[in-house]
Amino acid sequence: MAVDRTRLPALGVTPPLQFPEIRRHTLSNGLRVWTVEHHAVPLVSFLALLPVGASADPSGRPGLAAIASDMLDEGCGELDAMELHDTLGRIGGHLDSEIGSDATILTLSSLARFADRACALLADMLTRPRFEARDFQRVRELRLNRLIQLRDLAPALADRAFTRLLYRDHPYGHMPLGTEESLQSMTLGEVTAFHHSMFAPSRMTIVAAGDATHDALVASVQAAFEGWSTTSALPDLPDPVLWPLPPSPEERIAIVHRPAAAQSELRIGHIGVPRRTPDYHVLLVLNIILGGQFVSRINMNLREDKGYTYGARTSFDFRRGAGPFVLSASVQSEVTTESVSEALNELRAIRGDRPVTSAELQTGRAALTRGYPRNFETAEQISRGAAQLALYDLPDDYFSTFVPKVLAIDEAAVTRAAEQYIDPARFVTVIVGDREKIAPGVSRLNMGTPAELTSI
């Protein structure tokens, strides 16, 4: 049969995704164990999820949770840092640690035949970190140097300024890395105390996924973690959903001065909604159309039509509590005012003046659904998916129902979500750039006198 190579093949029906079965167990010490079989390749992944992130930093100590997490692989049990990483290499191990606003995650993947050893190493890192003074000094110095480097990075300055202006003293009001002042005065004793008060089996979920049976995965975790216990009372963990949100800032616009900057870094937005919002799927579609892909409205306007930027995007940062909605772009200094004006016009227009079209909806839904199964190709991806279910208390069929729910969204639902969740009256605009170049034009935006932020 002849093939017409001048036309793209027609898209077929989106195939259903069936997320693998999750089995749950609880050890005698309260540790939750979730197991998932995945036999594609001889690898296993052990993911430790602790619902304690940067938002748990004590007052005056931003960065404490992050440095405590960073110290976990600086030696544990009988192994110093070099011996630990040498041991990981011998079992084909790959270690990854990350900390966000709501959680600390440690993931260790290895060859399946070394599953027991890998899980034992993960347990030692979580339960028996060495926390030696020389390692702490080195890690702290690396973080301080990183903060110094960030002073010269406009995107980092914009993120920090936007976060501080939006959230103030709220637990979400600082970045996980912390501040120079906090790190310089931080002590190893504080790190140790934070670990003792926050890391506990009753708070931890271990997601074990890979080329092994459910029983074998549980046995590996049980052998490694059964002896973990806590002897002191633990402080209660607050529910981020219940945290009172700060009022909208009085400053509608703020400038961070960077002399002679050729570009201006923009952040425009306001506090959004928690991950558990019932409109989560609708907001994903709204965002992909507005600024979540290359052909989004924001990017096509500022980049393709006006030529102001190499790229502009929007995002809802979904957290356990209300995370931010933000538009981000780096634009030429001389068109800073015009870029802000165009961005604000697009944010307002999608709420009803220029509602979502059928073509935009079709493209946006396809962007979210057509490649969705590739998010679950490896054991590590599957374990991270299961960790989302645990962190946000989502149902087991969440991933299997994602595509049908997205495809069921229509134009009216997206317009309604834009009207409800994008509020121009609450927008805060942060500009990182050369004040002398941009200040004269900012007055034309009718957003009041810009506040100048000096200490970020």
Residue 368 sits in the same domain as residue 408: yes
Residue 202 sits in the same domain as residue 257: no
The last residue of one of the domains, among 238, 269, 303, is 238
Q: What is the model's pLDDT at position 64?
A: 98
CA-based nearest residue to 52, from 109, 99, 117, 119: 99
Q: What is the model's pLDDT at position 1?
A: 65
Residue 177 sits in the same domain as residue 297: no
Q: Domain containing 371: what range?
A: 253-452
Considering the domain boundaries, does residue 10 fall inside one?
Answer: no
Considering the domain boundaries, does residue 243 fall inside one?
Answer: no
Considering the domain boundaries, does residue 313 fall inside one?
Answer: yes
Residue 169 sits in the same domain as residue 259: no
Q: Tell me the torsion sign for CA atoms 296, 298, 304, 310.
A: negative
**Helix (H, G, I), strand (E, B), or coil: what is residue 29?**
coil
Q: Tell me the torsion sign for CA atoms 112, 115, 119, 125.
A: negative
CA distance from start to end of the chain? 66
Residue 225 sits in the same domain as residue 80: yes
Backbone φ and ψ of 165, nearest 5°:
-65, -35
The last residue of one of the domains, among 238, 261, 291, is 238
- Find the helix packing angle between 398-407 and 379-392, rounded to 10°: 80
The whole-angstrom separation of Cα 67 and Cα 147 is 13
Residue 339 sits in the same domain as residue 434: yes
Predicted TM-score (pTM) of the model is: 0.94
Considering the domain boundaries, does residue 413 fall inside one?
Answer: yes
Residues 230-275 pLDDT 10s: 877 888 898 999 999 999 998 899 999 999 999 999 999 999 999 9
> How many CA atoms are closer than 13 Å to the CA of 422, on its beta-carbon side?
28
Residues facing 50 on adjacent strands: 104
Residue 128 sits in the same domain as residue 186: yes
Considering the domain boundaries, does residue 3 fall inside one?
Answer: no
The whole-angstrom separation of Cα 119 and Cα 443 is 59
The whole-angstrom separation of Cα 365 and Cα 370 is 8
> How many CA atoms are closer than 13 Å to the CA of 38, on its beta-carbon side?
25
Residue 187 sits in the same domain as residue 307: no
The whole-angstrom separation of Cα 216 and Cα 219 is 5
Residue 223 sits in the same domain as residue 260: no
Considering the domain boundaries, does residue 13 fall inside one?
Answer: no
Q: What's the CATH code of the domain at 53?
A: 3.30.830.10
The whole-angstrom separation of Cα 159 and Cα 174 is 10
Q: What is the model's pLDDT at position 401?
A: 96
Considering the domain boundaries, does residue 7 fall inside one?
Answer: no
Q: What is the model's pLDDT at position 20?
A: 95
Considering the domain boundaries, does residue 322 fall inside one?
Answer: yes
Residues 19-29 pLDDT 10s: 999 999 999 99
Q: Which DSSP helix (H) or strand (E) runs through 97?
A: strand 94-99
Local confidence pLDDT in tens for the 456 residues of the chain: 678 888 877 877 777 889 999 999 999 999 999 999 999 999 999 999 999 999 999 999 999 999 999 999 999 999 999 999 999 999 999 999 999 999 999 999 999 999 999 999 999 999 999 999 999 999 999 999 999 999 999 999 999 999 999 999 999 999 999 999 999 999 999 999 999 999 999 999 999 999 999 999 999 999 999 999 987 788 889 899 999 999 999 889 999 999 999 999 999 999 999 999 999 999 999 999 999 999 999 999 999 999 999 999 999 999 999 999 999 999 999 999 999 999 999 999 999 899 999 999 999 999 999 999 999 999 999 999 999 999 999 999 999 999 999 999 999 999 999 999 999 999 999 999 999 999 888 888 988 889 988 867
Residue 108 sits in the same domain as residue 62: yes
How many independent structural domains does the chain possess?
2
Residues 22-79 pLDDT 10s: 999 999 999 999 999 999 999 999 999 999 999 999 999 999 999 999 999 999 999 9
Residue 185 sits in the same domain as residue 70: yes
Residue 264 sits in the same domain as residue 386: yes
